[in-house]
Structure 1
Amino acid sequence: MDKMIRHLAGQRLMLGFNGTKFNKDLETIIREYQAGGIILFKPNIVSPDQVAALCARAQAYAASLNLPPLFIAVDQEGGAVSRLSPPFTQFDGNPLIRTREQAAAFARITAGELKQAGINMNLAPVMDVVPPGTDSIMKTRAFPGNAEAVADLGTTVIQTLQSSGIMAVAKHFPGIGRTVLDSHHHLPELDVELSELKAVDLLPFEAAVRADAAGIMISHILYPRLDPRWQASLSKAIAHDLIRHTLGFDGLVLTDDLDMKAIDQDMDVCMARILASEIDLALICHQGPDIEKAVMALTRQLSSDPKARASGRMCVQRIYRYKEAYLGWKKPDRL
């Protein structure tokens, strides 16, 4: 396999793994797959010292192979979605954050603890808008209030995290606050016009772009008025055209976890759609055969498609840019 193709494929993946220590699985993720990043969940985390040692070993191993440093991500929203248990500081969650001061305090304390643990990316904040009276899947995770309030609190979190050296990822584009089904188990559908999304749901994401959020995560929701065939995370119309052209975003675009039931496609199809949409990072959050399938699909398609290869280089250059900005890395001339 061509070394550059393998690198272009691997840097586009953010992968989960089993274990609380540096192990053979992480070695494979870094050495064989050359993954752009890893993602931590509760089973990977025992204590601040343990996770700091785990992250340091992973980064040292990547450096020993002359590979770029890893994005190391976690979902630390506070409240209902908190991967870091005590003694990490616990927060009540976004629904109880009502002021900029509260949002900034959450982000400042969280950023300090993430940085000390060796984590450099927070898959937060949630920027979904929950309409009053909606039994939304996001009701326990979203900021309270209308789109302007969500934008204000969310951008405070983004700016505070990033001023402390932690990349922030706004989610779940283009907005899932009105959905009542969980994409972990279903393929939810939101049948609304783009004009309605622009009037409400997109406003916080536009604010996130203005706040220079490092990343935006795409949902697995089907928006048939925008793309009748593909859910957002596999839709070029949403994951590329709407984000890059309409919103003017030039940061990192991430999928939600491709292990979710809302993605009922084989990895060849998923990776083809991700390449076509110029999504920067595909998340596969659980160890298993899907990881190797994704690596093989990406390498095959990058090898055979010059257009995918050209856009792939552009995506990896964007990944490098954030690794230089946040991870103290200088891209060597050979990359």
Structure 2
Amino acid sequence: MKLYLRIFILLVITIFIVGCNHKKLDIEKPNIEENNDFKEENKEPADSIEDKIRAMSLEEKIGQLMIIGFDGTDVNEEIRNFIEELKVGGFILFSRNIVDENQTLRLLNKTKEENSNNDIPLFLSIDEEGGRVSRLSKSFVKLPEAMKIGDINDKDISYNFGKILGKRVGSLGFNINFAPVLDINSNSQNPVIGDRAFGTTIDQVVNNGLEVLLGMRDMGIIPAVKHFPGHGDTDTDSHIKLPKVNKTMDELKLFELVPFIEAISKDVDIVMVAHILYPNIDKNYPATMSPKLIQSVLREDLGYDGVVISDDMTMGAIVENYTLEEAVLSFLKSGGDIALICHGKDNPEKVFERIKEAVKIGDLKEKDIDDKVYRILKLKGKYDLEDKIINTIDLETLNKDTKELINHINR
């Protein structure tokens, strides 16, 4: 009897121990699963932009490095070829392309439709500064020049000025405005800037230029500040000849560069580089082709990692001194991202083929092109750009807002 009792007790103890072990296992298992969940949550998300770039052909990448001007007021074979064959990243419109607001709306809508087979939306850009640099039709109430805004020096007025600029270009379907001008007009003989600047002092340009930038951006329009590193102290029009400014880097940092530094602190998305030679900084190349000014100064010293665009590469300052193709290649190799090519229907293809050749012979690394395209696609994604059709424009309300601002200015 005692033997049976001992056996019974041993069986009870064994069952108890095994049961405890099972409990222990049941407790530990969820902990393991939680740890796995934690690891999954903390994995870095896949970079969709990099995935998109990996799926792109070299030709598609090169196309993103160009914004193109064209002739005509309607979609034509020229535009179709730029979209279908060159896969261009965007277009710029001038007065030659604009008749009235309804025609402009149709033109931009048709251009978007032509791009519908491409996964990447277009940059649609314009120079709409107010004053004498206004490409929109005369049906829009004329805005005052930047200098008048700077003379008033009221941040609320400047911000609303920027909002109106953004509203009017956005209402037609544009998504980039090449404004505001951040040049300080310090040279009374300046033939190209003048009243396009907000003033002759750092404070006027910074206080008002940055508010205009913010106003446009709050309307969903990408501002492109210009003309880095400063076009205000020139006495030559870069549309015709290459200006030369004999300033040192220390002088630029204390004056011309200040508005651009402030814009970078506000996360400006695009900086336009000027065709100006600064022989004390780079005696061989103008800013648009200078690794010292773009890569060393703008990118490294000032810490700018956004999109860098050239001024129009078909301006006299460039084509009177260099071949267009080599100038664009130099711009890209110097740290630039998008070449603005505003004139000449054969020029975009020439530039396209030269970039392609440079990659083939190892003169330009495809990895460098990938970095540029990454910045471009990131910007298009940041503003949720899409080739969306806009059916109507409320010009009456736009003009009403403009008149109210002008009345406020003239009080």
Q: TM-score range by the shorter chain?
A: over 0.9
Q: Which residue of 2 aligns with 1:112?
A: 167
Equivalent residue in structure 1 for 2:214, among 159, 162, 165: 159
Q: In structure 2, do the counterparts of structure 1 residues 306 and 183 end up closer, same or farther at CA, with 3 Å as the change threshold?
A: closer
The one-letter code matched in structure 1 to 2:273 is I
Is 1:85 matched up with 2:142?
A: no
Q: Is the radius of gyration larger for structure 1 or structure 2?
A: 2
Deviation track 1:107-153 (CA, whole Å, cap 9, x = no partner) reads 1112111111000000001000112x622231121112411220111
Is 1:129 matched up with 2:184?
A: yes
Contact kept, 8 Å, 1:125 with 1:170, in 2: the verdict is yes
Deviation track 1:241-297 (CA, whole Å, cap 9, x = no partner) reads 211111111111010011111102113321321221121110110133322211111
Equivalent residue in structure 2 for 1:68, among 120, 135, 139: 120
Equivalent residue in structure 2 for 1:279, among 336, 348, 360: 336
Distance 1:169 1:328 in 2: 16
Contact kept, 8 Å, 2:222 with 2:269, in 1: the verdict is yes
Contact kept, 8 Å, 1:95 with 1:142, in 2: the verdict is yes
Equivalent residue in structure 2 for 1:242, among 272, 289, 297: 297
Is 1:229 matched up with 2:281?
A: no
Distance 2:285 2:363 in 1: 24
Is 1:51 matched up with 2:108?
A: no
Q: Which residue of 1 aligns with 2:95?
A: 42
Structure 2 residue ranges without an equivalent (≥5): 1-54, 388-411
Distance 2:179 2:292 in 1: 24
**Aligned residues, how many?**
327
Q: In structure 2, do the counterparts of structure 1 residues 275 and 308 end up closer, same or farther at CA, with 3 Å as the change threshold?
A: farther
State the shift of 1:3 in Å. 6.7
Select the structure that is richer in helix: 2
Equivalent residue in structure 1 for 2:227, among 172, 175, 189: 172
Is 1:252 matched up with 2:322?
A: no
Contact kept, 8 Å, 1:5 with 1:302, in 2: the verdict is no
Distance 2:81 2:56 in 1: 16
- Identity percentage of aligned residues: 32
Contact kept, 8 Å, 2:358 with 2:364, in 1: the verdict is no
Q: Which residue of 2 aligns with 1:146?
A: 201
Q: Runs (4+) of structure 1 moved beyond 6 Å?
A: none
Q: Which residue of 1 aligns with 2:247?
A: 192
1:257-268 equivalent positions in 2, closer than 5 A: 257-263=312-318, 264-268=321-325
The one-letter code matched in structure 2 to 1:123 is F
Is 1:302 matched up with 2:359?
A: yes
State the shift of 1:329 in Å. 4.9
Structure 1 residue ranges without an equivalent (≥5): 331-335
Which range moved further: 115-124 or 53-62? 53-62
Distance 1:89 1:246 in 2: 41
Q: Secondary structure at the match of 1:270?
A: helix
The one-letter code matched in structure 2 to 1:219 is A
Contact kept, 8 Å, 2:161 with 2:215, in 1: the verdict is no
Which range moved further: 287-296 or 34-43? 287-296
Q: Secondary structure at the match of 1:216?
A: strand
The one-letter code matched in structure 1 to 2:279 is P
Which range moved further: 280-289 or 268-277? 268-277
Q: Which residue of 2 aligns with 1:5?
A: 58
TM-score, normalised to structure 2, is 0.77
Q: Which residue of 2 aligns with 1:333?
A: none
Distance 1:295 1:267 in 2: 11
Distance 1:40 1:329 in 2: 18
State the shift of 1:44 in Å. 0.6
Q: Which residue of 1 aligns with 2:15?
A: none
Deviation track 1:146-190 (CA, whole Å, cap 9, x = no partner) reads 112201111101111111100001100000101010011111100
Deviation track 1:187-206 (CA, whole Å, cap 9, x = no partner) reads 11001010000000000000
The one-letter code matched in structure 2 to 1:320 is L
Distance 1:120 1:329 in 2: 10
